Chain A
Amino acid sequence: NAGVTQTPKFRILKIGQSMTLQCTQDMNHNYMYWYRQDPGMGLKLIYYSVGAGITDKGEVPNGYNVSRSTTEDFPLRLELAAPSQTSVYFCASSPGTGYGKLFFGSGTQLSVL
């Protein structure tokens, strides 16, 4: 019972580099989300998806891109990394009905130097 799996757990990027944060879930959930958590703060929504092929922007989408080609996978792409993107990134999923809880991955700690 893996749940939501994120890779990598830690990453250091140089300014201007790009990378993809991977997220996969094995619960057949339709809804998937990417959040970022800055030090000492709550989580802010970057992007979300309500199903394969459908994505939409959240509160803080600038500097990021997503795709959803399968139900299981929801990668987050950082283009031209900036120090302001230093954060902990959480992927989450939920079933498509009701106001159910979100299931979270263990997070990716990203530093941009």
Chain B
Amino acid sequence: AQKITQTQPGMFVQEKEAVTLDCTYDTSDPSYGLFWYKQPSSGEMIFLIYQGSYDQQNATEGRYSLNFQKARKSANLVISASQLGDSAMYFCAMREGINDMRFGAGTRLTVKP
């Protein structure tokens, strides 16, 4: 069964606008971590933001925030004030045990000038 689902293969956003990238997950473990990584065309994996399952507040890192809705098992990434350099693939990931991290299929974001 798919653990991480990203339903948007591609998204477009106008420069300086905000955009939300969707992510839902499936787990029966009460303890887990949720992550978002950015992969630009150069190929490296860049960590953006982390949310723990017991964290009471939504995580924020600069222009990135994670909209965590635990009951709905959703962990959407919000990018505010989009920049051209935000154009990339974005992966949602979950770590249930300490052993491995599972990734979604990704969303390709294109920022239009």
Q: Tell me the chain A residues, 51-74 only, with Cβ under 8 Å from chain B.
A: 56, 58
B52 contact set on A, CB distance < 8 A: 99
Q: Tell me the chain A residues, 27-60 only, with Cβ under 8 Å from chain B.
A: 31, 33, 35, 40-45, 48, 50, 56, 58
B43 contact set on A, CB distance < 8 A: 88, 106-107, 109
Given A41-B106, A42-B91, A106-B44, decide whether A101 and B100 contact each other with a Cβ distance below 8 A: no
Contact between B33 and A99, CB atoms less than 8 A apart? yes
Digitize B26-59: 1 where CB-to-A-CB distance is under 8 Å, 0 elsewhere: 0000011101000000011101001010000000
Secondary structure call for the B interface: loop
Question: How many residues does chain A have at the interface if contact means C-beta atoms less than 8 Å apart?
Answer: 28
18 extra A-B contacts, CB within 8 A, seeds A33-B100, A45-B102: A35-B103, A42-B91, A42-B103, A45-B101, A50-B98, A50-B99, A58-B100, A90-B45, A98-B33, A99-B31, A99-B52, A99-B95, A101-B35, A101-B47, A102-B35, A106-B43, A106-B44, A107-B44
Interface residues of B (CB under 8 A from A): 4, 31-33, 35, 43-45, 47, 50, 52, 91, 95, 98-106
